[in-house]
């Protein structure tokens, strides 16, 4: 993909096949003449708005969101500006199509749906020459790489190269929600093989048909990749996405203070959870440092949330030990207790002295939590008995069922079983729930409230690292945009139809924080808001300099 200048713009059929430069039927008569397009387009010259109208009609005729995704994906391959014009016109409608929950179905069938390449595939076969492979990408000013191994996709497990749908979708939201210029983003599938035998046997599977390597070989491969990114794209932020949990934690710990990077599954999930929890506590006039928080799920996402909550409590004056004492964690094997021999290094600080238990209801009785957070990927884990007991213990139980695509309980279940008292959020967006004459508006604690604004602030300020304090500031920037009237209706996040404005406001807040703490590597402007609004992407056709 190229991005046109007066010197590099392609001509003729090549121009119509370049999604970044193509205007389709919107090319003017003069552009058609000079750029060798005459005869290649129907005679009617249309506006971008008229083209979008046609797209909406196509989308309305599609039978389901998977077909709408396929259509929009093809549109993005043909005409990037029109794609973003459509998606940014109604984020509340289109984010669930190009991202979760539709993206789960896309990834399961990615090799079967494949039409044309997008992004890059760096495989174990490229060992020793990753930098030269990266140089095949035509854009030099890459500022964000979203990279996955496909090792843990949306509760689907290891789906190898089929996971490429995730980096593509994530980076589309950088632009659609955060107005980051799309030419600065690069999705990458780091193909290390897959443990999924069914995929390896699938004749249409597009990835390496082998098991992943041993840890030492993988570590060396990732080290070469990270070093190659620094060499080829020195201003780039690496966004780690959907790696196997142990790998995700290990690589974030290894690289977060060495290069500009973050892990959205760990830090983005933590930030949006902290934001929703902050709003919920404002509704009940509670303090974070006084909550008993129970996690059902102790993988990379759960540990990332827990670690950030500990850091946030420390900022409120608690010691690390006292903050950790406010958190109890379970995984599929049961309560994290010191007698277990299967705990990871990152889980051990949360292990309790006491009897083991695999019964969530029993742990609730022992811990009496005020907050229940599900990051288990186990659908329906929060049963009626669990929600009712949380409601007996708390007048306003805080219940976050964050697993995608299968939430631990639905919004309707949470509100019905708690008799309307739950403060609820899920990883996907549920519709409004009507119980009698009361309407309940479930929140979507999804990372798209965080990473696009964080990306825009990073794009603007060029910090050397993304710290936990920046992540916490992103959470507070989001929570502060939930006004009093919205909180009064039980909503924990801003409306999705305002997402672009929300992300730009968050980016301004983060940029100010980065400048205030001397972390930026650009000169501070007099007016941060005006400055950021001047560099954001807007989906309009740019004039072409004609000779």
pLDDT, one tens digit per residue, over 34-58 is 999 999 999 999 999 999 999 999 9
Chain-centre distance of CA 55, in angstroms? 26
Q: What is the CATH number of domain 267-448?
A: 3.40.50.720
pLDDT at 547: 63
Phi and psi, residue 129, nearest 5°: -145, 30
Tell me where in the chain the CATH 3.40.50.720 domain(s) lie: 267-448
CB atoms within 10 A of CB 50: 12
Phi-psi region of 64 (alpha: psi -120 to 50; beta: other; left: phi over 0): beta
What residues are annotated to the active site? 99, 170
Phi and psi, residue 185, nearest 5°: -110, 145
Phi and psi, residue 439, nearest 5°: -110, 135
3-state secondary structure of 352: strand
* CA-based R_g, the chain, Å: 24
Q: How far apart are CA 30 and CA 32, in angstroms?
A: 5
CATH 3.40.50.10380 fits 47-263, yes or no: yes
Which regions in the chain score pLDDT beneath 50? Answer: 1-2, 4-7
pTM assigned to the model:
0.94
pLDDT at 7: 42
pLDDT at 4: 46
Assess contact for 275 and 450: CB atoms under 8 A. Answer: yes
CB atoms within 10 A of CB 41: 16
Location of structure tokens 């994906």: 73
Tell me where in the chain the CATH 3.40.50.10380 domain(s) lie: 47-263
Q: How far apart are CA 436 and CA 427, in angstroms?
A: 26
Is 265 annotated in some ligand binding site? Answer: yes
Q: How far apart are CA 215 and CA 491, in angstroms?
A: 44
Q: Which helix (H) or strand (E) holds 330?
A: strand 327-331
E strand map for 60-152: 120-123, 144-148
Sheet containing 423-426: order of strands: 334-335, 327-331, 293-296, 371-374, 398-401, 423-426, 443-444
């Amino acid at each position: 993909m190229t991005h046109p200048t007066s010197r590099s713009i392609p001509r003729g059929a090549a121009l119509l096949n370049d999604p970044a430069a193509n205007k389709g039927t919107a090319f003017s008569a003069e552009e058609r003449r000079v750029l060798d397009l005459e005869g290649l387009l129907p005679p009617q010259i249309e506006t971008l708005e008229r083209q979008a109208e046609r797209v909406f009609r196509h989308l309305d005729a599609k039978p389901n969101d998977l077909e709408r995704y396929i259509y929009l994906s093809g549109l993005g391959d043909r005409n990037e500006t029109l794609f973003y014009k459509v998606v940014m016109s109604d984020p509340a409608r289109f984010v669930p199509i190009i991202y979760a929950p539709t993206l789960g179905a896309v990834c399961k069938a990615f090799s079967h749906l494949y039409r044309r390449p997008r992004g890059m595939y760096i495989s174990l076969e490229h060992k020793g020459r990753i930098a030269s492979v990266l140089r095949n990408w035509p854009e030099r000013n890459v500022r964000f790489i979203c990279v996955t191994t496909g090792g843990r996709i949306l509760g689907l497990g290891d789906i190898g190269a089929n996971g490429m749908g995730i980096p593509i979708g994530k980076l589309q939201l950088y632009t659609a929600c955060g107005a980051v210029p799309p030419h600065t983003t690069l999705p990458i599938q780091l193909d290390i093989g897959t443990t999924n035998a069914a995929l390896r046997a699938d004749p249409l599977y597009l990835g390496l048909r082998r098991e992943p390597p041993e840890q030492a070989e993988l570590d060396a491969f990732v080290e070469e990749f990270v070093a190659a990114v620094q060499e080829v794209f020195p201003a780039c932020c690496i966004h780690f996405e959907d790696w196997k949990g142990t790998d995700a934690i290990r690589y974030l710990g290894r690289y977060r203070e060495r290069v500009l990077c973050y892990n959205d599954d760990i830090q983005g999930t933590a930030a949006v959870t902290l934001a929703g929890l902050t709003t919920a506590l404002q509704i009940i006039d509670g303090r974070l440092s006084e909550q008993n928080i129970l996690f059902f799920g102790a993988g990379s996402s759960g540990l990332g949330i827990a670690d950030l909550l500990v850091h946030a409590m420390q900022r409120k004056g608690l010691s690390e030990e006292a903050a950790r004492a406010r958190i109890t964690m379970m995984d599929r094997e049961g309560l994290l207790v010191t007698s277990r021999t299967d705990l990871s290094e990152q889980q051990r600080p949360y292990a309790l002295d006491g009897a083991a238990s695999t019964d969530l209801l029993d742990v609730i009785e022992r811990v009496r939590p005020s907050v229940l957070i599900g990051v288990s990927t186990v659908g329906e884990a929060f049963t009626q008995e669990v929600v009712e007991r949380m409601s007996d213990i708390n007048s306003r139980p805080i219940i976050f069922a964050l697993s995608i695509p299968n939430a631990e309980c639905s919004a309707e279940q949470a509100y019905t079983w708690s008799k309307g008292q739950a403060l609820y959020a899920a990883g996907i967006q549920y519709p409004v729930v009507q119980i009698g004459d009361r309407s309940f508006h479930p929140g979507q604690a999804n990372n798209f409230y965080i990473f696009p604004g964080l990306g825009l602030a990073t794009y603007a300020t060029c910090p050397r690292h993304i710290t936990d304090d920046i992540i916490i500031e992103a959470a507070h920037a989001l929570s502060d945009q939930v006004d009093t009237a919205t909180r009064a209706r039980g909503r924990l996040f801003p409306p999705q139809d305002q997402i672009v404005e929300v992300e730009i406001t968050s980016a301004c807040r983060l940029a100010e924080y980065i400048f205030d703490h001397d972390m930026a590597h650009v000169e501070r402007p007099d007016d941060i808001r005006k400055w950021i609004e001047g560099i954001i992407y807007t989906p309009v056709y740019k004039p072409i300099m004609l000779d």
